[in-house]
Structure formats: structure tokens, C-alpha cells
Chains A and B, each alone.
Chain A
Amino acid sequence: DADVTQTPRNRITKTGKRIMLECSQTKGHDRMYWYRQDPGLGLQLIYYSFDVKDINKGEISDGYSVSRQAQAKFSLSLESAIPNQTALYFCATSDWEGSGGDTGELFFGEGSRLTVL
């Protein structure tokens, strides 16, 4: 079983629908992230959380919200999906390795491909 699990893996939905992508991890890491990948744009950070009570916006948080239900669970919601949110979404975790910033490597889930029609 994967250490970082995302559900659903694929989803097709319509404009205006509410969508939730879920992520769970068994690595015991405190830090969790949601990234979005669009062709030619690389990975862009949507939201991140350093523990259960900590939520931070990334580069492209507009139109998204998150919930950190437990150390192991971090879900991403699209309250009202729009076509330009069609993308591949990755959840990732990391373990803080020391002071001076985030030096821990990321461990990625398998990705959730979302299509908004």
C-alpha cells in the first residue's frame, strides 16, 4: 500500500459542483501539502499545513479550501468547480529535518486527475 494515498484518482465533474479530494498518509509526517500540475507550468502550491491547527495559503489558493482533520488526513475542496481547475492534483508530505526552513524531501501521492466540464 502507498504511504500517501489520494482519493479519488480520477474525477469528472461539471462546472459549479463541489468537489473534495482526500489525502491520507501513514508516514507519520506533520507537514502536508496540496500541489496542482498543469502542462508546462510545473507544480504549483495550493495550500500547506504544518500540523493539525496550522493552515497556510500557497501560490494559487483562490477557489480552493482545505481541512486538516488529523495528522494523517488533509483534504482539498473546490467549493464551486470551474473548467480552469482541470488539472492533476498531488498531495505530499514531509518531515521537518531542522531549523532554517523546510529541507525535508517531499513524498507524493499518486495524484488525482480532475476534469471540470
Chain B
Amino acid sequence: QLQLQESGPGLVKASETLSLTCTVSGGSISSNSDYWGWIRQTPGKGLEWIGTIYYSGSTYYNPSLKSRVTISVDTSQNQFSLKLSSVTAADTAVYYCARHLGGNYYNAFDIWGQGTMVTVSS
């Protein structure tokens, strides 16, 4: 059974870079030519798609965050990662990693990590 687990610092200072990793277990990150995404959730803005990466490394970003976001994949570690630069208090959120259903970018997210809370401090 495929599982995803987010990890990374729970506290990041304003203007610095937020870095999170999603570890995939119970299967290979590249076995089904899957697409993997990052989504965040705040009380104010709700759920927000950050971006998606194909197992081969192609990326798709939310235009509103594109200038600050980098998503990468490490197939040898069965992980993919999120970096968000120049963070502000508005980036305080629960960050989720998730898989696109059916190995298709044009599909919903069927498997989600449990989420990790990241707070940006001044």
C-alpha cells in the first residue's frame, strides 16, 4: 500500500527558504510513471495547489508561486522535495504531498501524506 510522508522543519524564519521532503513508501516513485504534487492549506486561503513533478523531473507550478518554488525528485531515495524561497507569514500553512491518480497530471490527487505544519516566524 503506497504511503506518503512529509518531513522538514516546522519553523522557518521570514525571508528564508522553506524545504520539505516527501518520502514514498510501499512502491517506487517511478514505477507507474506517476505525477507527484504539493498542496498547502491555510485557514484563510483554504487549499492551494503549489506544483507537480513528473517522476522524470518535468515540473508544473502555480503561477502565483512560480517565482519562489522549486520541486525536485530523487528517484534513488524515493523522494520528492519542495523549496519555497523568501517566505513570509502568508506561507504559514499545513503542507501536503500527494499523488495524481492514474499516473496522469490531468487527474485528482488520490493518495495524500498526513501533512506537516510549517510556521514562518519573524
- Do A and B truly interact? no
